[in-house]
Amino acid sequence: MVAGGRRRGYGVAKPNLSDLSKADLTRIYRSLRLIRRAEEEVARIYPTDKIKSPVHLSIGQESVAVGVCDALRADDAVSGTYRGHATYLAKGGNLKGMFAELYGKATGCARGKGGSMHLVDMAANVLGTSAVVGTTVPIAMGYALAYKRRGKGQVVAAFFGDGATEEGVFYESLNFASLHRLPMLFVCENNFYAIHTPQSKRWATDRLCERVETFGIPAHKIADGDVFAIRSATAEAVAAMRSGASGPVFIEAHVYRWKEHVGPGEDYHIGYRGKDELERWRSTDQVESAGRALDATARAAVDREVETLVAEAIRFAEESPFPEPRELMEQVYAS
């Protein structure tokens, strides 16, 4: 898939880092580091009750959002899941707006009404995230249909978890997107658990890529969450879609959720998974891997910048006002 790269799994190759510029490596590490530190601060602040919504942290899963979004253009769009901080930030969502949203403040990206699970930033083409599993996939598909008709080479990436692939709407979307050759990248963040239920108790086989291929959609698997392999696979898929050579493409990226399903803590004491799994994935942490690709001076500069940005975002959230009571019924739609 990549010249000089090592071919793995469903045709996905690990690129040679020497093919990437210093600017590429710095940008990718900065995005990974920003998401990691932002969520670590969310976990630190959460027990104070300043954050007014449930949080589903993506610590350990950052490489999927960063690898995909780094290969997209600014005018491409993404949709995400309730575990959407990484998708939102990787696509360029406003950091201050995200923290203010978590605090329930009027300056939040959804004016404090959506919380952690409902992040949106249309200026960055983040279509939104949702608490309901799988529901943002057909929304993304509608955008892909509009983009195809617009004819400007834009694409949409829809992020979802392995649990969402058990929803009927996922297969309906695969069929429609393939039938109409829509410029849509299906991105499965496979962390092996639907809340507390392991995949082995839900799936008769783990051959997800094979199931998707029956819809006539090319499928690729990255089994180690490698951010550079995800970026490379996305770049190739997106280039084919922009040129019209391909309709939709599917990427399954294996990653691991380090924290509990919902909340800032750990849940290994519950017994549905073992800490040995965590340690295996920690040993290949993509934030650290990307950081080691930079020299110490460049990495330290990124780290300082990220700390400043996160601190400013938290201060902005804490100093922002809550929405006025009269806003309670504004921007509320019912039919």
pLDDT over 70 percentage in the chain: 97
Taking only the tens place, the pLDDT of each residue in 160-191 is 999 999 999 999 999 999 999 999 999 999 99
Return d(Cα 217, Cα 223) in angstroms, integer.
19
Residue holding tokens 């949106």? Answer: 120
pLDDT string in tens for the chain (335-residue length): 433 344 444 767 778 888 899 999 999 999 999 999 999 999 999 999 999 899 999 999 999 999 999 999 999 999 999 999 999 999 999 999 999 999 999 999 999 999 999 999 999 999 999 999 999 999 999 999 999 999 999 999 999 999 999 999 999 999 999 999 999 999 999 999 999 999 999 999 999 999 999 999 999 999 999 999 999 999 999 999 999 999 999 999 999 999 999 999 999 999 999 999 999 999 999 999 999 999 999 999 999 999 999 999 999 999 999 999 999 888 877 77
Structure tokens at 115: 């919380």
pTM (2 d.p.): 0.94
Per-position b or e across 65-96, b if 16+ CB within 10 A of its CB: bbbbbbbbeeebbbbbbbbbbbbbbbbbbbbb
Return d(Cα 178, Cα 162) in angstroms, integer.
20
DSSP states along 103-140: TT-TTSTTTTSS-TT---BGGGTEEEE-SSTTTHHHHH
Contact between 31 and 70 under an 8 Å Cβ cutoff? The reply is yes
Contact between 249 and 241 under an 8 Å Cβ cutoff? The reply is yes
Structure tokens at 145: 């249909």
DSSP 261: S
Residue 328: the pLDDT is: 85
Phi, psi for residue 129 in degrees, rounded to 5: -120, 160
Of the candidates 27, 20, 101, the one whose C-alpha atom is nearest the C-alpha of residue 109 is: 101
- The residues, ordered by sequence, that sit 6+ positions from 277 with a Cβ below 8 Å of its Cβ are 256
Residue 4: the pLDDT is: 39
Return d(Cα 145, Cα 180) in angstroms, integer.
8
- The residues, ordered by sequence, that sit 6+ positions from 165 with a Cβ below 8 Å of its Cβ are 188, 208
